Amino acid sequence: MKCSVLRFLFVAMVAMAVVPGGLGQDESEGKINLPMPVVPLRGGNRKAILEQSASGSELTMWSYKVKSTRQGSKGQPFTGTMVGKSPLTNNGTTTITMQIVPIILDINGTIFDPTVPDNNCAAGKVPLDLVKQSPIVMPASFKMNGVNIGKAQYIDAFQRANFWTPISKNGGGYHTKMNVVTLKPVKLNPGSNGAIVGHGCGPVGGVEFNFFDNYVKTKLIPSLKSQGVGPNTIPMIMFYNAVWYCGSTSNLCAGGWHEAYQVGNLVQTYSPFDFDLSGIFVGNDTYFMSHEVGELVNDPLGGNPVPAWGHVGQVSGCQNNLEVGDPLTGSKAIQVKMPNGYTYHLQELAFFSWFFGPPSIGAGHKFSDEGTFTSAQGACH
């Protein structure tokens, strides 16, 4: 994907400053607000993809059809695909395999290793362990918009809240769970495609976006096939205190993204993300990861069409895809304290009804899981 395509998603960045890092920061003043783009599937037959999904060759996915009730698009029909089984008709649990792939980066001799304790930014904790103990991996009790959603992983809880009205009518037993497996760490030296791009509690690394995107598709994912990575799994590729730049280190263009691409006649999804404790970005620890997992589940092929929306979150213009994180990128984090004593930061996500219009079928009849959106998006111009 060309970097110029990414730039329309890029939100205004403030000047990078050296700020103290550490656990539990949530202030956003003077920090960089990174966008998190999507690279949609090019080509591919959605009917064939759903048939392959039903056979177990690809991720379990369901298709929806809906008519917009939003101003400017009332009555317009839309069709899309999501991970799991339909919350409109099902009352059981779907389990998806998600693999965490830790990357040990060597950038000109500076090592970014999520598998070892970090005294500078993580209070001596192991970043990979923090991810494995997070509410994206482990269940936590969630109350959203005043509604008791139950104990679940964050994205499972979000999907339940997202479709709360039909799920409640069906008996309330709907879940989309992740069976999370941690793979062996992979070492990467990006050479001239890597650089130190800032400092907080420690150095912050950067890797060139197009270089890494090509590396993932041509080398990394093929090499992980023997460990079970394939079109029927979701590999989540973990950086620690390192992000991506497009062309120049002055253009930090992603804290993570999700992508779908053809592998023969099948479709592979994946998502890189930064587990960040540096203190220089808006959003820390699992903020970026929650954005990406939420979007991959709700828009796995990257092109679910919706009425145009924008001028909110990381979108300065108008866009027309169902990216549940983008409208709230940079929003105040949802904080969840887990049994390990650590308080995690999760990004608020937009409900299905926000994109397609009222009435809300989400928890509390609101339009996002923390209630920031109290009405659907209006027409975008």
What integer is the mean pLDDT of 136-153?
A: 98
pLDDT higher than threshold 80 for residue 366:
yes
Residue 3, pLDDT above cutoff 90: no
Which structure tokens are listed for 353?
Answer: 């009804």
Report the Cα–Cα distance between both ends of the chain, in Å, rounded.
26
| pLDDT score of 9 | 35
Sequential DSSP letters for 275-320: EB-SSSBSS-BTHHHHHHHHHHHH-TTS--EEEEEEEETTEEEEEE
Highest mean pLDDT among 3-12, 14-23, 357-366: 357-366
Question: So what's the pLDDT on residue 5?
Answer: 38
Per-residue tokens: 117? 């304790």
Distance CA 116, CA 101 (A): 15
Residue 47's pLDDT is 82
Name the pLDDT band for 6 (thresholds 50, 70, 90): very low
pTM, entire model: 0.93
Q: Which regions of the chain does DSSP assign to beta strands (E)?
A: 38-39, 61-67, 77-83, 93-107, 110-112, 140-144, 147-152, 175-182, 186-188, 194-199, 203-208, 233-240, 242-245, 252-254, 258-263, 266-275, 305-312, 315-321, 334-337, 343-346
pLDDT tier at 72, thresholds 50, 70, 90: confident
**Share of residues in the chain with pLDDT > 90 (%):** 87
Report which of residues 8 and 380 the model is more confident about. Answer: 380
Amino acid 29: pLDDT? 65
Query: Where do the domains of the chain lie?
Result: 3-365
Question: Any idea which of 21-25, 246-250, 354-358 has the lowest mean pLDDT?
Answer: 21-25
> What's the confidence (pLDDT) of residue 148?
98
**What's the pLDDT score for residue 27?**
52
The SS3 call for residue 155 is helix
**Across all residues in the chain, what is the average pLDDT?**
92
14: pLDDT strictly greater than 50: no
Three-state SS at 94: strand
- Tokens describing residue 105: 């980066």
User: Quick one: pLDDT at residue 51?
Assistant: 86
pLDDT digits (tens, 9 = 90+) for 92-132: 999 999 999 999 999 999 999 999 999 999 999 999 999 99
pLDDT (mean) for 297-316: 96
The pLDDT of residue 135 is above 80: yes
Type and span of the H or E element at 50: helix 46-54
CB of 349 within 8 A of CB of 325? yes
What percent of the chain is modeled with pLDDT above 70? 92
Q: pLDDT at position 23, please? A: 38
DSSP 370: T
